[in-house]
A and B are shown apart, each in its own frame.
Chain A
Amino acid sequence: GDSVTQMEGPVTLSEEAFLTINCTYTATGYPSLFWYVQYPGEGLQLLLKATKADDKGSNKGFEATYRKETTSFHLEKGSVQVSDSAVYFCALSDTRGGADGLTFGKGTHLIIQP
């Protein structure tokens, strides 16, 4: 079945550091890939997405490129801020399964120190 593996945290960085959160996936079809962010006690918000190979999703300084050859969708940001502290989830939607829900990684807790 489908699965998503992402680096487990917590990841602690200083403000203005470069961020990478790794995400790799296994899927039987041609998935769409997503990054969601969750702030304490809240629901998930879409951060960015990519729907086909070599697409790059970007939003609020975050970027991720859909790499079919390495089955990866790593999240990057050039200079993080304290306000980026949150839990980040990588997820996929598999085209063979119908619109039957997302498969999530376990989440990466990011802590940015001033």
Chain B
Amino acid sequence: DGGITQSPKYLFRKEGQNVTLSCEQNLNHDAMYWYRQDPGQGLRLIYYSQIVNDFQKGDIAEGYSVSREKKESFPLTVTSAQKNPTAFYLCATSSGRLTDTQYFGPGTRLTVL
């Protein structure tokens, strides 16, 4: 079954703790992306990766970190430095060509208590 998997769907953490969100894909796509969605704000790009072992900061990278050790996986760590981490996090993939569609996972809703 092809697609993008994000886990868990809901995540609760205490303030000051780091947390890692999972994103796995079996679409054989080169490019992967992390977005953050807040109510009424649309989606904002956190990090993206066009190839294994390489990634770039997006518009709101502060307080986040990523790795891309495998083509299939692009985990996002929300660190304690992120001032307002409660949000809906969406992972996306594409073939990497500019005109190609980005496909989105189901998302992880992170709540920091």
Contacts and interface: CB of A to CB of B under 8 A. Distances in A.
Interface in A52-103: 89, 91, 93-95, 98-102
Interface in A26-68: 32, 34, 36, 41-46, 49, 51
Chain B contact surface mostly: strand
Q: How large is the interface on B (under 10, 10 to 19, 20 to 34, 35 or more residues)?
A: 20 to 34
A91 B99 CA distance: 12
Chain A interface residue bracket vs B? 20 to 34
Contacts of A107: 40, 42
Nearest to A9: B40
B41 A106 contact: yes
Contacts of B44: 104
Interface string B1-22: 0001010000000000000000
B42 A32 contact: no
B41 A32 contact: no
Nearest to A102: B102
Nearest to A36: B104
Contact of B104 (A4, A44, A105): A44
